[in-house]
Amino acid sequence: MVLLDPRAERPVHRMAVVQVPRVLPRLVRLPETPAGPGHDYAFMVDIVEEHLDTLFPGLTVLHACSFRVTRDSNLDLVEEASTDLMEALEQELDRRRRGEPVRLEISSGAAPEIVARFLEAFELEIDDVYECDGPVNLGRLMELYRTEDRRELKDAPFLPCVLARWETPDEMFAKLRAEDLLLHHPYESFGTVELFVQHAANDPNVLAIKHTIYRAGETSAIVRSLIAASEARKQVTVVVELKARFDEEANIRWAKRMEHAGIHVVYGIVGLKTHAKATLVVRRDDGGIRHYCHLGSGNYNPTTAKVYTDVGLLTAHEGIGKEVAAMFNMITGYAEAPAMEHLVVAPHAMRDRLLELIRTETQNAAAGKPARIRAKMNAIVDSNVIRALYDASRAGVEIRLCVRGICCLRPGVPGMSDNIRVTSIVGRFLEHSRICWFENAGGEPLIWLSSADWMPRNLDRRVEQAVPILDRNARAKAIEILEASLRDNHKAREILSDGGYGSVPVPPGEEPYDSQESLRQAAARRRGDGSGDQAPESPVEVQTIPESKPEPRRRVSAPRKSPLG
């Protein structure tokens, strides 16, 4: 704000900053009135601004505005030079709060003098300034969702169906030896994965458990089971990715707790993030030692498993199990990654295998054989993969992609990507699963589940896994999930050849198809109540995304006239 002391001999403008304590709510419910239903709210910043004269008695408030500074959150960590990675990371986390400013958000109409003062103080450029025609932190509006008990404005809590209710470890392992189980969250309960680890921890025939943690969340039944397994004198190894951005502190707490319980905690390979989602159980069966695995596309996080769509495979396939064991040996023992028949691991082989699969479809199309690629993921950025897809399109490969987030591929460009179509779904649940389909010349299609997007960071700088789905029932289910996403013409938007997005047309005579709603209803039918909206004991309500959008933020591009005159 800009202040003026009217008692001074000559007018001098002074600048002051009022900090609102974080413990105070940013939205304040106003007293109810008989005017009608509903509640009125005021932003705390507006209340403070209205009473600034009481904070500065005797001074005149000429101008006031709200602002927010974003700081660089990257951690300046040199792993090779760190003798204690956890200690070095804790020091960097303390420095993060004092990181270099990178952006200034400020109220629309802020005085140029104030903007100029901030630019000088924070060492920013004019292009780093963003005007906000509203609150400078839109996230504060989530307080409305938490405080308003307006059920008609919210999605009803969703209760997932439970695919497996194994009563004993013996029953569970016998079922997995008979067939694989593909889980689709949040339509199917993440509790099945938690039960898998719990039974493994309690089974006296289990010799060892290995597990990866990327974003486990604040509470984790899986970690509790791993601690119980360690206390039962099983060999437990957990790969904790300490550098998972914004989850570093939570992961450090988990690592310390597990180390205290006797678990062998490792932090992966220097220079690489461990982003693979894998659990390996080594068990003494009647026929000898056998491996049981869970491999997924999502984090072992019980909270996000209720709002992110992810897939996970539970399997006792011995070939896959041995290769998962080899992957863990690579991560925890610095062993070389061996040649693998089933599992594909980044950064050693995933890019080459992916390009090989795309080129095979390209060759099949050129030879007049059936050739199709179907895939669902979060992002496509890698230039080598994009060029390979363009080559495949020119050869006649039919390519359908569902990419929720960043997509650097331009579909529908004549002569380059005519045969590529890309859609994006934004709905009640965040689309996070990663599934790929390659036609394979009309033979048995190759269906893959992966932890990786098609991005350089995933293919080159992270430990990732992709696994083929071999069980016939699991394959059929994966195809249904993929085709449901590609069929969506209600929540989906299509990337146009000019890079814009447009609605997906609904075929004449057909009803719009909402993939998430269809899958939700299917889960409800399997559960038996037909509704899908019955509240569980601890329901997680999901905010409905409003159709209207707030005014866009405007980047400041030139000096403006001061309201101070």
List of residues 6+ apart from 236 with CB closer than 8 A: 208, 209, 210, 211, 226, 229, 230, 262, 263, 264
Please provide the DSSP assignment of 118-171 as one string.
HHHHHT--GGGEEEESS-S-GGGGHHHHHH---GGGSPPP---B-S---SSHHH
235-240/206-213 β-pairing = parallel
Nearest-CA neighbor of 280 among 228, 208, 336, 345? Answer: 208
Backbone dihedral angles phi then psi of residue 54, each to the nearest 5 degrees: -75, -20
Locate 204 and state its tokens: 């006296």
Nearest to 357 by CA among 388, 381, 383: 388
CA distance 540 to 438: 36
What would the two tokens of residue 319 be?
């070939």
DSSP 342: S
**Beta strand spans in 378-453 (E):** 398-403, 420-425, 430-431, 435-438, 446-450
The whole-angstrom separation of Cα 446 and Cα 432 is: 20
How many alpha carbons fall within 13 Å on the CB side of residue 418?
A: 5
**C-beta neighbour count of 108 within 10 angstroms:** 15
**Cβ contact 145:543 at 8 Å:** yes
| Amino acid identity, position 547 | E
Query: d(Cα 414, Cα 137) in Å, to the nearest integer?
Result: 42
Q: Is 13 a catalytic residue?
A: no
Strand order in the sheet with 13-15: 13-15, 2-4, 60-63
Q: Among 63, 185, 211, 275, which one carries the catalytic annotation?
A: 275
CA 129 to mean position of chain CA atoms: 28
Report, as residue numbers or ranges, the catalytic residues. Answer: 275
